[in-house]
Amino acid sequence: MSRRTFIALLAATFAPRPANGQPVRRTWRIGYLNPGSSALAPIRLDPLRDGLREVGYVEGKGVVIEARWAEGDFARLPALAAELVQLNVDVIVTAGGSAAQAAKGATVTIPIVMVDPGDPVGSGLIKTLARPGGNITGLSSAARDLVAKQVQLLREAIPQLAVVGFLTGNTAAAALAMKDAQEAAEGLGMRFQVLEVRGPSDLEAAFQALPRDRRRAVLVFPDPLTFSHRRRIMEVAEQDHAPSVAGSREFVDAGGLMSYGPSFPAMFRQAAMYVSKILKGAKPADLPVEQPTKFELVINLKTAKTLGLTIPQSLLLRADEVIE
Q: Is the pLDDT assigned to residue 303 strictly greater than 80?
A: yes
pLDDT for residue 133: 94
| pLDDT score, position 294 | 81
State how beta strands 296-300 and 321-323 pair: parallel
Taking only the tens place, the pLDDT of each residue in 289-302 is 999 878 999 999 99
**143-261+295-323 in CATH: which number?**
3.40.50.2300
Measure CA 145 to chain center: 15
Give the residue extent of every domain in the chain.
Answer: 18-141+264-286, 143-261+295-323
AA letter at 103: A
Percent of the chain with pLDDT over 90: 72
What average pLDDT does the structure give for the chain? 90
Q: Which residues contact 34 (CB under 8 A, 6 or more apart)?
A: 40, 44, 45, 67, 68, 69, 70, 94, 95, 96, 99, 224
* pTM, full prediction: 0.80
Of all helices (H) and strands (E), which one includes residue 147? Answer: helix 143-157
Mean pLDDT along residues 232-261: 95
**CA 29/CA 16 separation, integer angstroms:** 24
Cα separation, 159 vs 207, whole angstroms: 21
Nearest-angstrom CA–CA distance, 92 and 31? 4
> Are 150 and 219 in contact, with CB atoms under 8 Å apart?
yes
**Tens-digit pLDDT profile for residues 304-323:** 999 999 999 999 999 999 99
CB 35 within 8 A of CB 222: no
Domains 18-141+264-286 and 143-261+295-323 share a fold: yes
Query: Shortest CA distance to 239 belongs to which of 192, 303, 190?
Result: 303
What does the alpha-carbon distance between residue 247 and residue 143 come to, in Å, rounded to a whole number?
7
Mean pLDDT calculated for residue range 27-56: 95
- Nearby residues of 72 by Cβ (< 8 Å), 6 or more positions away: 35, 36, 37, 199, 224, 225, 228
Beta-strand pair 296-300/258-261 = antiparallel
The pLDDT of 1-25, averaged and rounded, is 50
Q: How far, in Å, CA of 245 to CA of 166, rounded?
A: 10
pLDDT tier for residue 6 given thresholds of 50, 70 and 90: very low
pLDDT over 70 percentage in the chain: 91
**pLDDT at residue 145 in the model:** 76
Alpha-carbon span 246 to 248, nearest angstrom: 6
**Topology (CATH level 3) of domain 18-141+264-286:** Rossmann fold (3.40.50)
The pLDDT of residue 13? 47
